[in-house]
Amino acid sequence: MRFISKKTKYGLRALYALARNYGHGPMLVSAIAEQEAIPKKFLELILLSLKSNAIVDSKPGRGGGYQLAKPPEQVTLGAVIRMIEGPLAPLPCASETAYRPCQECGDVRYCGTRLVMRQVRDATAEILDRITLADICHRVELLRVEDGELAMMAGQGVA
């Protein structure tokens, strides 16, 4: 099974920071790196890649930095992961965008593994193409609020 790389994990964390800051101007690479605990040099490469794929914009000079190219409600996790990792399918023969038959397979129409991996790909795409950066930021904020309320209740002796 294919998993996402550290580059993708860091890229998503950087994008969450930019989504939380959306509408407040660009963020410095150093601020994102510190806030999200991402090595600065690695983050610079990731942001350049995201910029070349029109996911982020950069503004040079004083008051410059990086910002989302589109509102966080318009950036899906599926688009970001595909941009960094490539196709979502666990096997090339199950891919929508980068289909290649497996060498071991005699006839892809009757390959049980391909049939299952298509379902995995379709389910993964259905989830990741529906969830936006804004959705994730909202979910995390709700969890923080809930945890804060629980901590407050525990501090007051309320069970």
pLDDT tens for 56-92 read 999 998 888 999 999 999 999 999 999 999 988 888 8
Q: pTM score, two decimals?
A: 0.86
Decide if pLDDT at 158 tops 70: no
Decide which of 89 and 33 is more confident.
33
Q: How many Å apart are CA 146 and CA 85, to the nearest integer?
A: 33
Q: Can you list the domains of the chain with their CATH numbers?
A: 1-75+132-159 (1.10.10.10), 88-130 (no CATH)
- Which residues lie below 8 Å from residue 26, measured CB to CB, with a gap of 6+? 57, 58, 59, 63, 64, 65, 66, 67
Q: How far is CA 105 from CA 71, 90, 94, 98, 114, in A?
A: 43, 16, 12, 17, 9
pLDDT for 119: 94
pLDDT for 156: 73
pLDDT for 2: 65
CB atoms within 10 A of CB 151: 10
> 67 pairs with which residues across the strands?
57
Q: Chain-centre distance of CA 153, in angstroms?
A: 34
